[in-house]
Structure 1
Amino acid sequence: MDIAPISAQLQAAASLIHEQTHSRKADAYLLCEETLNLARELHDDAAFIAVAIDYALVIDQQGYPERSINILYEALQLAQSYHLFQEEGRLLIAIGRSVYTRAEYSLAIQAWAHALEVSELAHDHNTWVWAKFGVGQVYDAMEDHTTAIVVLTEAKKRADELGNKELLMHVIFNLGVNLYREQQYSSALVNYQIAQQYAVELKHDDEVGELYFRMAEVNLAEDRIDLAWQQLEQAEAICSRTHHIWALANINMTRAAIFEKQHNFVASHHEINIGIENAIKSGAKHVLMRLYLAQSELAEKEGNAKLCLSAYKKANSIHLEIYPSDKKQQIAALEEIAGIADSPGKLLLELANNPQLSNPHLDQLAQLICSKSIEILKVDQASYWTYSNNKFLNIYRHNSSRNNKCYEEITPSQYAIFSRTMLSGDLIIAHSVRHHQLTWPLYSDYFAAHDVFSALIIPIRAGSETRGFLCFEHRKHQHNWSSNEVQYANQLAIVAARGISNIDLSNFLTEIADLNAKLIQSNDALEQRVTERTQELASAMEQLIQSEKLASLGNLVAGFAHELNTPLGNTLTASSTLLEKNNELIEQVNLGKLKKSLLDQYLTESSMTAQLIERNARRASNLISNLKQVAVDTASSKVRNFNLHQIISETLTTLSPSLKHKNVTIENNTPSHLQLNSYPGSLEQIITNLINNAIIHAFNENENAQILISAEAIDSQNTRITVKDNGCGIGDSIKSKVFDPFFTTKFGQGGSGLGLYLAYSLATGTLGGQLQLESAEGCGSTFIITLPNQAPAEQNQINDLHRH
């Protein structure tokens, strides 16, 4: 869905806010508040996103209150719903900056890490550098200035290549700060001067003022007190005018250090007290902590033990808030270490191995998933919705006060966009359900009735179909969902899908058992009539053989499902391991004990784990796709005229990404004049399956593999297509079985036994032709497709779910 441009009514206000962001923060803040409220009323999403990005730069005067950060998350969910990757990245950078200023470093790292991922999707190199810049700031806050300098130097190189002056200014500015912390004063001063030149050119008055104070710090460290005092006065004048309160707190602290050096303790205390007020107002905890430490040290020099102890306690209290920054995370970590509470990863692993998933009823599955979701995600409420008969039905809701079956309904006719999103398999991350474009239509009918403020909605997918969704909810107040919570929710949906697959399998096996019972009855009846109705017996015997094949197919499908459980189980175990390693790394970062060796070890292990997840996920995906292809109507496409050479060329182009690492040459030697009036989609599927079969079975590694596709007109009514390879060939012992369903020589090694069966079914059924094999062991294989130029009559196969 495309976003409408900013309305004329709000365009002027948005432009004025952008102009005032760095010169008149107070005026810009008031105008932001007014414009954001109006944008909500007008449903002007483009204006809301644009203003929120600038709003992030002016809210520091309010100390980054929760309400202001909620606005940034509200804008983020809008950008995500419209797939505006560039704006999403900029908002993630802003959110990271806001929580970083509040010393909530773990949240800042999550936001900036997500911004790095989004920047890759948007090909937005500027956002990538902003995120790197943010990571450097965290290293600075953790007092690992050496690593901060390395990260910021890398960011500076990329910013230089981009020629982004604003980005260069910020990176060089913070590089100077870390050089100053490492007592490289001359290098720090050079960086400050370059950054200030950019700030003046860009008219970023707030940055100009802050840089004067940074240069004063350097001059004070080298005993150039008069110059430092002059620069502090310049800094204070500019920062007061631009309402840059965070910088004013630092100016007060630097001025207090000068007074202390001159033994003017009264004036030093006065500056520290003003600085504390400014730090509290701006929400800068790390600055406030340093001011209290300065106050404690000053009181110690004066012999004021009471003030010394009081200030030190306040500084230490803030230090405990910052390292780690989130008290809830700290408590949770302690509970896990002590064995009082289990980690989400462990709970997910236990759920995945729960025996109830093997053969559940749908109600039992819903109750199990919802109850475990409350423990894993720490949400107020979880509900399970199933999809059938063209509607979503809430069959179970679980919360701390009551658990009950529900019968609320959502139909596409009532909520078209929401239903379409679920059926397409897209999740919804609603930090605020009232303002999210996909959830606000349901607000009055559902969310408001249950006091829901935030919701995380994950479709349950079995194969390529949506079978329902899970809804995880926070009540009474807004909750901003983290990337870890989204990951856990996705894993819960995967476990639910596994339970549904087991239900489907159980139902299928029951049907097979019924068929077997009917077969026995049919066999008894046939024996009684054998002498009287010989001709009918032959027909009945043919039906019996087909039914027995169906019964055998049921057992094969059961084995296929067992094969599928292996990669899914491996994937879940590996992802849980990776999550625990992430938590360990975050803990080390929060404690300020991150070492390069530990990071290198983490990167090596996480890379290996990611490769394991990818291999197993790809293996499961291939198995599911092949099995799904057997179930669907093979004549689902429409008949149309097409050029045979062009269709085969397009098929090879589609396959090229997956074949680029294979040592195989494929030639399309079909004539350019051959035209067919048939099903091109089915023919493409046949060619694809024949090529994939050759790749998997015909060739050895480092072999000069070749596949040749050719065609000729047999007569005016028929065309012959040949697919020939120079592989190992097919022996006589198995040649008669290659088109049988589930027959493969490499089951569990990349083969499912469905590729050639599907190709044969499409050729002889949908396309009305023939598929033959000519091969000898060691001499390659040739598949011959004989097709009528005019396909059989088109069949009716409209599916309600796919139509929606």
Structure 2
Amino acid sequence: MTDISPIPADFAEQLAQIEATWSQTPDASAAACAAIIFNARERREPLAQIYATELYGLIMNHKGQSLAARDLLYEAVQQAQALHNFPLEARVHEQIARSYYTLGDYRTALNHWLRSIELAELAQAEPMTWILAKIGIGQIYDALNDPTTAVTFFETAAQRITEVNDPYLDAKIKINLGVVLFKSQHNFAAKQALYAAIAICLRENYYDYTAESQFRLAEILISEGELDTALDLLERGLDYSLKAEHRWSEANIYTAMAEIYALQANWQQAMSAIGQGQAVSRSNNFTHVLMRQHFAAAHYAEHLQQATLALAEFKAGFALQQQINAAALPDQHQELEQKTGLRPNASHLLLDLANHPAIEKGKIEQFPSVICQAAAQILSLERVILWQRRTDRLGILTAYTDQTTNETTELLAAELSAFFNWLNEHKSLIAHDALHHPDAWDLAEHYLQPRGIFSILAFPILSGTDQYVLMFEHVGAQRNWLPDEVQHASQLADITSRAFANHERHRFQGEIHLLNARLAEANEALESRVAERTQTLELAMEKLVQSEKLAALGSLVAGIAHELNTPLGAALTCSTTLSAESRELIQMLHSNTLKKSSLDNFGNTLIEASQLIERNLNRAIELVSDFKQVAVDTTSSRRRAFNLLDTVNDVVKMFNSQIRHSQHQIQIHIPSSIQLDSYPGPFEQVLTNLINNSLLHGFESINAGIIQISATLNEHNSIDFCYEDNGCGIKAALHKKVFEPFYTTKLGQGGSGLGMYITYNIVTGVLGGELILESESGQYTRFKIKLPLIAP
């Protein structure tokens, strides 16, 4: 763990003591961590709770009981997210990944390890989390019988071990390297790695890893026929596993000892050793290990001519094998049913919902219940509720529950200050444990707990001046929302937002049609009356346009808020570091222990931190400045004179964060002298859609894509604007479909299918231009746009 000085001194002292001794006393240390977690909750100390949970997860993992810590780890993730503490969030994701890996859920483990690496790199955190995540991914490849690739990941992790002073982590890498090198038939290199691990563990008194290293080394020696040496290693490893209470190593060591006795034809001793191993596995629920031990025991009993015992052991092993296979059957059956069409998958259900007539036509009397019922099916929920805000309260617009669809509960701001503060921030809420979530604890006390609801997802939705909340409620034990589930819930919220937008649009269009009819009937009326009706029509049209602009601004605000998180988070981290260093310096000054070297170190830290703070704050200022201009243009269709190069640069800057974390490039070749009298807002939307398409579709399988944006003046008072990327291109058969509404290859993965449809309409409509698509599959995509210097 890193510096824990920001938490209360009593918690810091207890955690430091546990961290120093947990490998020798894991059971007592786990209990102490649980007590700190409980006390930190009571005292509203989220940092202390996260640190204690992180340590608890580490201990339980080494006890082979990682599942017991998972719910607490998800709670810690939501606490770290609320604090915007990326390094802590990265570390907890690493722990969660390990719990899924232990149970064989490699896909979910991989998602969490990749998220951990992303957060660690984003926050420029200390490298330990990054190293652990790389080790985890290597272990997945090992589990999938690809030891060669696993070696690459472990060696990558080992390259950064000098950046941290952590012998325990160094030993972990060497043990894993030894295992996969042995599987890759590089016995000599494997033994070197394991001997190095044993040396570290003996020096540092890491009894758990000492036991595991000796067990792994013994496996190699057994394969090479060095049975006596291997047995000696295992006997010593058994002593260390008992000291560390490391039950996994203990169970496997007994199994390996039994194998040696069997190879020596000492069947009675083999039977005795395997029995001891079975007892350990049985009491710790090591199902896979116990299964192998039963089959080994059946083999030994057969050689002892104990047919009844051999049959019983074989049956026990076979029963466990059936149990393990049965646990995987539901997922296998679900996958088979989805492939054969017997069970619709989430993507198909989302697609059907997105195209539902009630949503397309914005029928508010129908689409809320349609969405809630579909959401309950997609996320396997008993309750989905769409709330409508009325100033200081939330009322139910539509509810899909396990009991009734007519629930009439109201949520009052006076009782739910934390929840309504969240609602005012217009951000999503992911609460694995709602009772202990900083934004949902009062909602849990007043509304969720009485209904048996433990976990929720909530998404605010704006429609004109109205505000709604789509809430997904899980009844029963804590549900740890998986990334796919959060994505599906977000897509359901997007569909709901589109349904409300369609409702608003149809209502405005109805008003416009009605006003048009009335104007036609009053064609011969007085001029003043015609003017009055015309003014009313324009107001209605303005409301329709304004609703579209607000939707665009909402997306822009979300994007800039996400962008600002990085520089502001980095500045806050530097500021926290300076605060801690300052307190330490003052303490040394008061205790007359201040040294010149300490003062020099503080000075260097001060300079580096100040520079980092200055750079990140300047970056935030630059983002806000860019946002001001782009926001003004995005939320208005005002006509004005603007410089083409400056406008293009402003849009490209908004994509810097995505480009910066990749090898993609955007090259601009536009003369600085081109001035247009046109509509910068719609033009920026066109360019934004094109860049988004390149990043999402064109460069999907390309690491270093290049986007070229160019423009030239021609002799007809117009410009030839060209946008080109070297991505995957578009098949010739699809060229006509590209500009059709709702056509996309990314439906259910973030694509709406409206981007190019809107782009074509803006270019040929508002901007008065022409748009031509040229593309070769696998080579390039080029959009040639001809725009008048003075828009019509």
Structure 1 residues 245 and 556, CA gap change in structure 2 (3 angstroms):
closer
| SS of equivalent to 1:500 | helix
Corresponding residue number in structure 2 for 1:479: 479
| SS of equivalent to 2:635 | helix
| SS of equivalent to 2:636 | helix
- Alpha-carbon distance in structure 1 between the residues aligned to 2:326 and 2:717: 64
Give 1:247 shift.
0.8
Corresponding residue number in structure 1 for 2:359: 357
The answer to whether structure 1 residue 730 and structure 2 residue 741 are counterparts is no
Corresponding residue number in structure 1 for 2:183: 181
Give 1:248 shift.
0.7
Q: Work out which of the residue numbers 669, 685, 690 in structure 2 matches 1:664.
A: 669
Matches within 5 A, 1:5-24: 5-24=6-25
| SS of equivalent to 2:468 | strand
Structure 1 residues 87 and 321, CA gap change in structure 2 (3 angstroms):
farther
Corresponding residue number in structure 2 for 1:599: none
Corresponding residue number in structure 1 for 2:635: 629
Give 1:214 shift.
1.7
Structure 1 residues 778 and 95, CA gap change in structure 2 (3 angstroms):
closer
Give 1:472 shift.
1.4
**Any conservation in 2 of the 1:729–1:781 contact (CA below 8 Å)?**
no
Counterpart amino acid of residue 730 in structure 1: N
| SS of equivalent to 2:381 | coil
- Alpha-carbon distance in structure 2 between the residues aligned to 1:485 and 1:755: 39
**Any conservation in 2 of the 1:103–1:285 contact (CA below 8 Å)?**
no
Corresponding residue number in structure 1 for 2:498: 498
**Any conservation in 1 of the 2:297–2:310 contact (CA below 8 Å)?**
yes
- Alpha-carbon distance in structure 1 between the residues aligned to 2:148 and 2:648: 53
Corresponding residue number in structure 2 for 1:748: 759
Which one is further off, 246-255 or 24-33? 24-33
Give 1:134 shift.
1.3
Structure 1 residues 494 and 780, CA gap change in structure 2 (3 angstroms):
closer
Corresponding residue number in structure 2 for 1:109: 110
Corresponding residue number in structure 1 for 2:599: none
Counterpart amino acid of residue 95 in structure 1: I
Corresponding residue number in structure 1 for 2:88: 87
Matches within 5 A, 1:133-282: 133-157=135-159, 159=161, 165-200=167-202, 203-282=205-284
Give 1:541 shift.
5.3
Instruction: Give deviations 1:574-627, integer Å, cap 9, x for gaps.
Output: xxxxxxxxxxxxxxxxxxxxxxxxxxxxxxxxxxxxxxxxxxxxxxxxxx9899
Give me the identity figure in percent: 26
**Any conservation in 2 of the 1:253–1:271 contact (CA below 8 Å)?**
yes
Give 1:10 shift.
1.4
Give 1:50 shift.
0.4
Structure 1 residues 328 and 121, CA gap change in structure 2 (3 angstroms):
farther
Instruction: Give deviations 1:390-410, integer Å, cap 9, x for gaps.
Output: 643222221233222424134
The answer to whether structure 1 residue 56 and structure 2 residue 62 are counterparts is no
- Alpha-carbon distance in structure 2 between the residues aligned to 1:75 and 1:665: 50
Structure 1 residues 338 and 296, CA gap change in structure 2 (3 angstroms):
farther
- Alpha-carbon distance in structure 2 between the residues aligned to 1:543 and 1:730: 38
Instruction: Give deviations 1:82-112, integer Å, cap 9, x for gaps.
Output: 2222222211221222232234444433432
Corresponding residue number in structure 2 for 1:571: none
The answer to whether structure 1 residue 393 and structure 2 residue 395 are counterparts is yes
**Any conservation in 2 of the 1:62–1:281 contact (CA below 8 Å)?**
no
- Alpha-carbon distance in structure 2 between the residues aligned to 1:781 and 1:650: 14
**Any conservation in 2 of the 1:360–1:502 contact (CA below 8 Å)?**
yes
Corresponding residue number in structure 2 for 1:715: none
- Alpha-carbon distance in structure 2 between the residues aligned to 1:747 and 1:106: 37
Give 1:376 shift.
0.9
Structure 1 residues 517 and 382, CA gap change in structure 2 (3 angstroms):
same
Structure 1 residues 263 and 702, CA gap change in structure 2 (3 angstroms):
closer
| SS of equivalent to 2:437 | coil
Larger relative CO (CA 8 A, sep 6+): 1 or 2?
Answer: 1
Give 1:268 shift.
1.2
Corresponding residue number in structure 1 for 2:512: 512
**Any conservation in 2 of the 1:64–1:102 contact (CA below 8 Å)?**
no
Give 1:68 shift.
2.9
- Alpha-carbon distance in structure 2 between the residues aligned to 1:244 and 1:695: 56
**Any conservation in 2 of the 1:690–1:755 contact (CA below 8 Å)?**
no
Give 1:358 shift.
2.2
| SS of equivalent to 2:436 | coil
Give 1:66 shift.
4.9
Give 1:59 shift.
1.7
**Structure 1: where are the runs of 5+ without partners?**
527-536, 565-623, 635-647, 671-684, 707-725, 733-744, 758-776, 784-804
Structure 1 residues 26 and 261, CA gap change in structure 2 (3 angstroms):
same
- Alpha-carbon distance in structure 2 between the residues aligned to 1:6 and 1:145: 42
Matches within 5 A, 1:577-726: 629-630=635-636, 656=653, 661-665=666-670, 705=711, 726=713
Corresponding residue number in structure 2 for 1:333: 335
The answer to whether structure 1 residue 525 and structure 2 residue 525 are counterparts is yes
Give 1:542 shift.
4.8
Give 1:192 shift.
0.8
Q: Work out which of the residue numbers 409, 420, 432 in structure 1 matches 2:411.
A: 409
- Alpha-carbon distance in structure 1 between the residues aligned to 2:382 and 2:200: 49
Structure 1 residues 630 and 438, CA gap change in structure 2 (3 angstroms):
same
Give 1:663 shift.
2.3
Instruction: Give deviations 1:191-227, integer Å, cap 9, x for gaps.
Output: 1122334444555332122212222222222222232
Matches within 5 A, 1:425-444: 425-444=426-445
Corresponding residue number in structure 1 for 2:456: 455
| SS of equivalent to 1:426 | coil
Structure 1 residues 103 and 323, CA gap change in structure 2 (3 angstroms):
farther
- Alpha-carbon distance in structure 2 between the residues aligned to 1:110 and 1:356: 35
**Any conservation in 1 of the 2:667–2:709 contact (CA below 8 Å)?**
no
Counterpart amino acid of residue 36 in structure 2: T
- Alpha-carbon distance in structure 2 between the residues aligned to 1:695 and 1:25: 54
TM-score w.r.t. length of structure 2: 0.69
Give 1:377 shift.
0.6
**Any conservation in 2 of the 1:104–1:325 contact (CA below 8 Å)?**
no
- Alpha-carbon distance in structure 2 between the residues aligned to 1:50 and 1:552: 55
**Any conservation in 1 of the 2:381–2:472 contact (CA below 8 Å)?**
yes
- Alpha-carbon distance in structure 1 between the residues aligned to 2:472 and 2:688: 44
Give 1:253 shift.
0.9
Cα root mean square deviation, aligned: 4.4
**Any conservation in 1 of the 2:5–2:12 contact (CA below 8 Å)?**
no
Corresponding residue number in structure 1 for 2:622: none
Which one is further off, 652-661 or 451-460? 652-661
| SS of equivalent to 1:409 | strand
Corresponding residue number in structure 1 for 2:591: none
Counterpart amino acid of residue 432 in structure 2: H
| SS of equivalent to 1:459 | strand
**Any conservation in 2 of the 1:459–1:466 contact (CA below 8 Å)?**
no
Corresponding residue number in structure 2 for 1:118: 119
| SS of equivalent to 1:123 | coil
Give 1:250 shift.
1.2
- Alpha-carbon distance in structure 2 between the residues aligned to 1:309 and 1:148: 38
Counterpart amino acid of residue 488 in structure 1: H
Instruction: Give deviations 1:15-39, integer Å, cap 9, x for gaps.
Output: 1111123232122112112212211
**Any conservation in 2 of the 1:102–1:285 contact (CA below 8 Å)?**
no
**Any conservation in 2 of the 1:279–1:287 contact (CA below 8 Å)?**
yes
